[in-house]
Amino acid sequence: MENIEIKNHPCFNAEVRKKYARIHLPVAPLCNVQCRFCNRRYDCANETRPGVTSAVLSPHQAIAYLKYAHAKNPDITVVGIAGPGDPMADAENTFETLKLVRREFPNILLCVATNGLALAQNVERLAELRVSHVTVTVNAVDPEIGAKVYAWIRPEKKPLRGVEGASMIWERQKEGMKKLVAAGITLKVNCIVMPEINDGHVLDVAKAVKEIGAHIMNCTPMIPAKDSEFESREQPSAKLIHDIRAAAGEILPQMAHCAQCRADACGLIGAPERLEDRLTIADFAKMPLRPGENRLYVAVGTREGILVNQHLGEAEKLLIFKRGENGFEIESVRNTPPTGTGVKRWLDLADILSDCRTVLVSGIGPSPRKILLEKGLEVTEMEGLVEEGLKAVFDGREIPAVLRRRFMGCGAACSGSGQGCQ
């Protein structure tokens, strides 16, 4: 894919896992399949497994959170959606999020993990957004075994159970995976290893998905989740997983560094997840679902009124624009709060700009960005004509690539001194 370095996906390429980070945006709470080992808990901050998140975000909350996280960690190369439910069961939230990410980060990798039940009808949309990697979890290709894995599936409104449901999900998975391969999207297949359920069946899964065209496979141990049907079942031993991976590796390349990430994971694979990051997600979940949608104005950091050319920290005044009948008009000129007050400066600025949807500046630090985003104010970094920036914002378009500028951060939280970066 043009301008997208697909080799920089740390889940699909073990060689870069210690260099590049990933972030999961938890925007898809619904699920169309009930696996017997799964219990999705949206508010658990201390448990590390798939299906868990500290909060569920709306697409606009998610993009605000992503901007904040990426400013702190520019090594994030992958934005993934992996739940806490199934991204294709929550397709509208998923695709709105992917569109927002692609608009703000044109060259970042996009990744989706799904059970595959509703995949086939969405492959074309994934390809249009240049989603480069998709993971499909296939736990059985034999319906008799699948019936032991799935309590029910819901392909449309009516749930299906037993062999009928297991047959349906495998047929849908096959159809979706074939379309992914035909679209040139890299396909990883996850298989959750469950002792006495499908542990003797994993090689059959490997052979079946290889025939379809899967590129890599991840045989990962079941985590018996509390309050799930398989809560009391034994977790697979490390030896069993090692032996299955070795055998399956004769059929398909194996991913052996999977960390069984949460739906809100952020950072390097295998690195300790910080409680601070999880609490940050909860903070963004308190934002308006669609920040700024009813706000009339745009604030601009400019020295002379023609160019966006001021870092927010150094701006003593901001021009406030509105759209009039004959173009853009200055509604007011507003003083920014005094320097030297730390976080209070940015909280006060958020109040001053409470009727603005966006602030256009040439740069901003991570701390003020986070505070303004939490208050529902979008922040756009650019350098160029004010009018071009205003046109894009008021028309709902992305800022032209030639004007975009992204502050990568200096590694320290902004002190609020208002003097800009030295």
pLDDT digits (tens, 9 = 90+) for 215-227: 999 999 888 877 7
pLDDT tens string 20-59: 788 889 888 888 999 888 876 555 544 556 667 777 888 8
**What's the first-to-final CA gap in the chain, in angstroms?**
37
Give the whole-number percent of the chain exceeding pLDDT 70. 82
Mean pLDDT of 83-98: 89
Give every CB contact of residue 175 below 8 A, 6+ residues apart in sequence.
119, 120
Question: Quick one: pLDDT band at residue 81, thresholds 50, 70, 90?
Answer: very high
pLDDT over 90 (residue 337): yes
pLDDT at 68: 86
CA distances in angstroms from 301 to 291, 323, 380, listed in the order given: 20, 17, 11
From 301, 297, 300, 305, select the one nearest 322 (Cα to Cα): 297
Give every CB contact of residue 363 below 8 A, 6+ residues apart in sequence.
311, 312, 313, 381, 405, 407, 420, 421
Question: Quick one: pLDDT band at residue 324, thresholds 50, 70, 90?
Answer: confident
CATH 3.20.20.70 maps onto the chain at 6-284
From 210, 223, 312, 173, select the one nearest 38 (Cα to Cα): 223
CA distances in angstroms from 52 to 3, 108, 261, 332, 385, listed in the order given: 33, 24, 9, 46, 44
pLDDT at 408: 39
Is the model more confident about 285 or about 133?
A: 133
pLDDT at 30: 85
pLDDT over 90 (residue 19): no
pLDDT at 330: 93
Q: Annotate the chain with three-state secondary structure.
A: CCCCCHHHCCCCCHHHCCCCEEEECCCECCCCEEECCCCCECCCCCCCCCCECCCCCCHHHHHHHHHHHHHHCCCEEEEEECCECCCCCCHHHHHHHHHHHHHHCCCCEEEEEECCCCCHHHHHHHHHCCCCEEEEECCCCCHHHHHHHEEEECCCCCCECHHHHHHHHHHHHHHHHHHHHHCCCEEEEEEEECCCCCCCCHHHHHHHHHHHCCCEEEEEECCCCCCCCCCCCCCCCHHHHHHHHHHHCCCCCECCCCCCCCCCCEECCCCCCCHHHHHHHHHHCCCCCCCCCCCCEEEECCCCCCEECCEHHHCCEEEEEEEECCEEEEEEEEECCCCCCCHHHHHHHHHHCCCEEEEEECECCHHHHHHHHHCCCEEEEECEEHHHHHHHHHHCCCCCCCCECCCCCCCCCCCCCCCCCC
CATH topology for the 6-284 domain: TIM Barrel (3.20.20)
Dihedral of CA atoms 245, 246, 250, 253 in degrees, nearest 10, equals 50
Between CA 49 and CA 328 the distance in angstroms is 50
Give the predicted TM-score (pTM) of the model. 0.68
What number does CATH give the domain 297-395? 3.30.420.130
CATH 3.30.420.130 maps onto the chain at 297-395
pLDDT over 70 (residue 191): yes
CA distances in angstroms from 30 to 65, 75, 114, listed in the order given: 21, 30, 12
From 179, 177, 183, 245, select the one nearest 217 (Cα to Cα): 245
Low-confidence winner among 79-83, 104-108, 116-120, 415-419 (lowest mean pLDDT): 415-419
Is the model more confident about 345 or about 16?
A: 345
pLDDT at 421: 37
* Sign for the pseudo-dihedral over CA of 86, 280, 8, 253: negative
pLDDT at 417: 35
pLDDT at 409: 39
